[in-house]
A and B are shown apart, each in its own frame.
Chain A
Amino acid sequence: DAKTTQPNSMESNEEEPVHLPCNHSTISGTDYIHWYRQLPSQGPEYVIHGLTSNVNNRMASLAIAEDRKSSTLILHRATLRDAAVYYCILHPWADRGSTLGRLYFGRGTQLTVWP
């Protein structure tokens, strides 16, 4: 199963941009890159996803390397509410040996935001 590697923790100051990296060197051509985050005492929530091109939404931007072996989640102006664990996961959009529903979240990156 394709897996991802993320730093255990990162820190940022409030209102500064944050770049959260994710390595996925074994990514398949049928894998989407998804990001979720988990606020304290809550279940994970969807942030953004992409396949090949960079993506923007109201929460964040996703920059995907040309070879797709890495990606970066960008929070343009971190707030205290962005302090959370961020997970980068790969999700196949086509069946690969019956692994379509099997998702690997890993340990994620704990983001600390300082006021």
Chain B
Amino acid sequence: EAQVTQNPRYLITVTGKKLTVTCSQNMNHEYMSWYRQDPGLGLRQIYYSMNVEVTDKGDVPEGYKVSRKEKRNFPLILESPSPNQTSLYFCASSLNVGTGYNEQFFGPGTRLTVL
């Protein structure tokens, strides 16, 4: 089944404790992206990757890191999480953003709480 998976689905952690949220897709998509969703603010893009080894900042990249060493994986790294990073996170992938037809497939979400 074609899908985007995220792990963990739920995570409670403490301030300053490094964590990684994994994202994997099995559709051979070139494009992958991370979003966070907060009440009243909609979806905001954190980072995106056009292809392997190519990443770029979205609207709210501060406090996050990403890497794209292989096509299928796009982990989101919080080196020193803070309470304002408590949010619902979505990973998405798309075949190719260069065509205009860019149906993004979203993962189920990761709910992160930083105490």
Q: Count the B residues whose beta carbon is within 8 Å of the partner chain — how many?
A: 30
Q: Are B42 and A49 in touch, CB under 8 angstroms?
A: no
Known contacts A87-B42, A102-B45; A42/B101 CB under 8 A: no
The A-contacting residues of B in range 28-81, CB under 8 angstroms, are 31, 33, 35, 40-45, 48-50, 56, 58-59
Chain B residues with CB under 8 A of A87:
42-43
User: Secondary structure at chain A's binding surface: helix, strand, loop or mixed?
Assistant: loop
A-B contact count (CB 8 A): 76
Q: Which residues of A contact B (CB under 8 A)?
A: 30, 32, 34, 36, 42-46, 49, 51, 85, 87, 91-95, 98, 100-108
Binding site for A on B (CB under 8 A): 31, 33, 35, 40-45, 48-50, 56, 58-59, 90, 92, 97-109
- Identify which of A32, A85, A104 contacts B45 (C-beta below 8 A): A104
User: How far apart are the CA atoms of A88 and B43 in the complex, in Å?
Assistant: 12
In the assembled complex, the Cα of A85 lies from the Cα of B56 at a distance in Å of: 27
Known: A43-B90, A91-B102. A101 touches B108 (CB 8 A): no
